[in-house]
Amino acid sequence: MPAIQRWGNSLAVRIPALVASELAVVEGTPIEVVARDGELVVRPVTRRKFKLKELLVNCKPSQLHGETDFGPDVGREVLP
């Protein structure tokens, strides 16, 4: 069973490989650590994925500009 250990002036918890695999977390994954109802809760922080429609709904006419031709699209520039 994992236990809380000292890491410098902080405390650390090791995440068992099976749990890390199940949650698809790796070294460097951002996490949120909170105390809730007397329990320690550690969970990965997921970034919300926006859709282009959602982002464009907040655009104002003053923020729009004409099209500029930079040549053909390459790599990840190609939109479906």
Structural domain contains residue 72: no
Domain count, the chain: 1
Enumerate the H helices of 1-80 as residue ranges. Answer: 17-23, 52-56
Domain with residue 33: its CATH number is 2.10.260.10
Structural domain contains residue 70: no
Structural domain contains residue 48: yes
Structural domain contains residue 2: yes
CA-to-CA distance for 35 and 42, rounded, in angstroms?
Answer: 9
pLDDT (0 to 100) of residue 77: 86
CA-to-CA distance for 5 and 37, rounded, in angstroms?
Answer: 22
Predicted structure pTM score: 0.52
CA-to-CA distance for 78 and 40, rounded, in angstroms?
Answer: 44
Q: Look at the alpha carbons of 22, 27, 32, 37 in this order and tell me if their dihedral is positive or negative.
A: positive
- Across the 80 residues of the chain, what is the mean pLDDT of every consecutive 10-residue run? 92 94 93 95 89 90 88 85
- The boundaries of the domain holding residue 24 are 1-64
